[in-house]
């Protein structure tokens, strides 16, 4: 079968009972993470702009889908767009291999589909798990190459996850799922140049709207084709430059992969379990610098006054964001507020980073002067084949000790209960009350016992 047929058969036949316990647990965690991100962003300018945009665009229309936090009623596409933009604005994303953030596309589509169908929590969890697995398998080896061609891998692959989530929850059959995936090839989009030249590029918000269009076309019988992913003029040819598995860049240094591996052991080996939580609102490769450095200081009881300098060995892609072909203007490796050195220093000085804060001080906020001083003495050392999000931190002390701690790249992969514990500091800083936040956490924890999951989850994000 073609790749899209393999995926369609997997998704159509997947049952909640087929999901490993760890996959169910992770699905609950990513849903909670996405809803927290929306709550953090409920009153941010990007969220208000997205809602105003859709209300203006849909004036006179109306709809039965709900925007998170505000409770505004919009069409399915309108609500999904607003919710995606809110998740992005909140900064509490999940992250897969640095440059894709599956939940920002998958969860808005899944929540709209769950609300409109009145599906159970088990159905929602199954749709979310299937969507993550399909999207991440499609993206895994190809993200750096796609980025090097000027495409943004987040929305380019996110459309497939969003479509699979909605299609599974809506009950599409294998033929319809195949067509939905195929139509996503026609509708996939995302480019780097706007953001590099002073603009704010449309990302997963556009992907989720297009995903729902692809699902609607499939539901109404529009055929999509059979080899739209791996064919000679298909998705991989268009977005990676060939359909032979030749890679321009890879995180591991290998320049070749096999397209047949994309669906190998589908349903047995769950790549979804590699998804990690970006709990600090900064580029994902910075988050481990906070915790690994903090843990090293904790281990040796180091304070700012003890530290002479710090070295961090990192995967070279983490110093060439978002791609070595198109690094962000100003990415000169110098220490500045918001750069990797800044977060390394924060971990050393404060043993953490504020969860309710962006990647730099907001109005009325300031940085400890010790952070601003120490970051100038942090050196990044790029290395090919270094584990993503796994820095090797070495602290040189003023009394001539050399202390090292290795990141594993899995510091931000944990189960639901650990996640709720790590996110507890946001509880008192959201628009909803602490008791309503607790109810939201409990609802996510017990999703597999809830009959109508969508309306319940959405309502718990609306204050009061």
Q: Which two tokens stand for residue 371?
A: 């952070």
Instruction: Please state the three-class secondary structure of 77-131 as a single string.
Output: HHHHHHHHHHHHHHCCEEEECCCECCHHHHHHHHHHHHHHHCCCHHHHHHHHHHH
Domain range enclosing 138: 3-277
Considering the domain architecture, whether residues 348 and 273 belong to the same structural domain is answered as: no
Considering the domain architecture, whether residues 215 and 329 belong to the same structural domain is answered as: no
Domain boundary among 379, 406, 433: 406
Beginning with the edge strand found earlier in the chain, give each strand of the sheet holding 378-383 in spatial order: 378-383, 307-315, 392-397, 402-406
Number of independent structural domains in the chain: 2
Q: Is residue 305 part of a domain?
A: yes
Q: What is the CATH number of the domain that holds 397?
A: 3.30.1330.120
pLDDT at 399 > cutoff 90: yes
Considering the domain architecture, whether residues 243 and 151 belong to the same structural domain is answered as: yes
Considering the domain architecture, whether residues 304 and 264 belong to the same structural domain is answered as: no
Q: Is residue 417 part of a domain?
A: no
Name the percent of the chain lying above pLDDT 70: 99
Q: Is residue 129 part of a domain?
A: yes
CB 7 within 8 A of CB 181: yes
The angle that helices 340-350 and 284-300 make with each other, rounded to 10 degrees, is: 30
Considering the domain architecture, whether residues 174 and 38 belong to the same structural domain is answered as: yes
Considering the domain architecture, whether residues 258 and 171 belong to the same structural domain is answered as: yes
pLDDT at 331 > cutoff 90: no
Q: Is residue 461 part of a domain?
A: no
How do residues 338-358 score in pLDDT, each as one tens digit?
A: 999 999 999 999 999 999 999
Average the pLDDT over 448-452 and give the result: 96
Average the pLDDT over 177-204 and give the result: 94
Considering the domain architecture, whether residues 162 and 66 belong to the same structural domain is answered as: yes
How do residues 117-137 score in pLDDT, each as one tens digit?
A: 999 999 999 999 999 999 999
What is the bridge-based pairing of β-strands 402-406 and 276-278?
Answer: unpaired
Considering the domain architecture, whether residues 167 and 136 belong to the same structural domain is answered as: yes
pLDDT at 330 > cutoff 70: no
Considering the domain architecture, whether residues 257 and 179 belong to the same structural domain is answered as: yes
Q: Is residue 458 part of a domain?
A: no
How do residues 281-328 score in pLDDT, each as one tens digit?
A: 999 999 999 999 999 999 999 999 999 999 999 999 999 999 999 988
Q: What is the CATH number of the domain that holds 90?
A: 1.10.4100.10
Q: Is residue 449 part of a domain?
A: no
pLDDT at 416 > cutoff 90: yes
Considering the domain architecture, whether residues 54 and 117 belong to the same structural domain is answered as: yes
Distance CA 411, CA 416 (A): 14
Q: Is residue 342 part of a domain?
A: yes
Domain boundary among 406, 430, 455: 406
Q: Taking the model in full, what pTM does it have?
A: 0.97
CB 171 within 8 A of CB 216: no
Domain boundary among 389, 406, 423: 406
Average the pLDDT over 172-199 and give the result: 95
Average the pLDDT over 401-423 and give the result: 97
Q: Return the pLDDT at 61.
A: 67
Q: What is the pLDDT confidence band of residue 376, given thresholds at 50, 70 and 90?
A: very high
Considering the domain architecture, whether residues 217 and 296 belong to the same structural domain is answered as: no
Considering the domain architecture, whether residues 115 and 242 belong to the same structural domain is answered as: yes
Q: Is residue 30 part of a domain?
A: yes
Distance CA 121, CA 132 (A): 17
Name the percent of the chain lying above pLDDT 90: 93
How far does Cα 361 stand from its chain's mean position?
23
Distance CA 318, CA 54 (A): 35
Q: What is the pLDDT confidence band of residue 63, given thresholds at 50, 70 and 90?
A: confident
Rounded-to-10 torsion of CA 259, 265, 268, 273: -20
């Amino acid at each position: 079968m073609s790749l899209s047929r393999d995926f369609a058969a997997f998704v159509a036949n997947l049952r909640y009972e087929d999901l490993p316990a760890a996959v169910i647990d992770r699905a609950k965690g990513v849903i909670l993470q996405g809803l927290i991100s929306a709550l953090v962003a409920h009153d941010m300018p990007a969220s208000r702009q997205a809602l105003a945009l859709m209300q203006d665009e849909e004036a006179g229309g109306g709809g039965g889908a709900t925007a998170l936090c505000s409770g505004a009623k919009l069409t399915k596409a309108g609500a999904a767009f607003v919710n995606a933009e809110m998740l992005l604005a909140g900064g509490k994303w999940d992250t897969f291999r640095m440059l894709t953030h599956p939940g920002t596309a998958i969860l808005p589509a899944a929540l709209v589909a769950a609300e409109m169908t009145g599906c159970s929590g088990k159905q929602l969890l199954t749709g979310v798990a299937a969507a993550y697995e399909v999207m991440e398998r499609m993206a895994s080896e190809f993200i750096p190459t796609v980025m090097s061609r000027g495409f943004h891998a987040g929305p380019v692959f996110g459309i497939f996850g969003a479509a699979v989530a909605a299609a599974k929850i809506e009950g599409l059959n294998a033929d319809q799922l195949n067509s939905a995936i195929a139509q996503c090839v026609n509708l996939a989009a995302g480019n780097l140049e706007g953001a590099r030249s002073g603009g704010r590029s449309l990302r997963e918000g556009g992907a989720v709207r297009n995903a729902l269009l692809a699902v609607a076309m499939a539901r109404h019988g529009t055929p999509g084709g059979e080899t739209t992913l791996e064919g000679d003029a298909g998705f991989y040819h268009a977005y990676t430059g060939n359909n032979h598995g030749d890679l321009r860049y890879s995180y591991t240094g290998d320049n070749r992969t096999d397209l047949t591996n994309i669906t190998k052991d589908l349903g047995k080996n769950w790549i979804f379990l590699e998804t990690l939580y970006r709990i600090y609102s900064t580029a994902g490769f910075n988050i481990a610098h906070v915790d690994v450095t903090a843990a090293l200081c904790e281990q040796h009881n180091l304070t700012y006054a003890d530290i002479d300098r710090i070295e961090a060995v990192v995967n070279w892609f983490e110093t060439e964001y978002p791609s070595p072909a198109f690094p962000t203007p100003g990415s000169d490796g110098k220490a500045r507020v918001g750069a990797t050195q800044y977060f390394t220093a924060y971990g050393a000085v404060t043993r953490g980073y504020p969860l309710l804060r962006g990647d730099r001080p907001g109005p009325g906020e300031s940085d400890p002067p010790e952070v601003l001083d120490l970051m100038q003495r942090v050196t990044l050392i790029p290395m090919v084949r270094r584990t993503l999000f796994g820095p090797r931190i070495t602290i040189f002390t003023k009394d001539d000790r050399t202390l090292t701690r290795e990141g594993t790249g899995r510091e931000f992969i944990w189960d639901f209960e650990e996640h709720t514990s790590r996110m507890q500091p946001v509880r008192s800083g959201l628009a909803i009350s602490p008791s309503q936040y607790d109810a939201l956490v409990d609802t996510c924890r017990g999703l597999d016992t809830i009959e109508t999951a969508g309306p319940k989850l959405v309502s718990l994000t609306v204050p009061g």
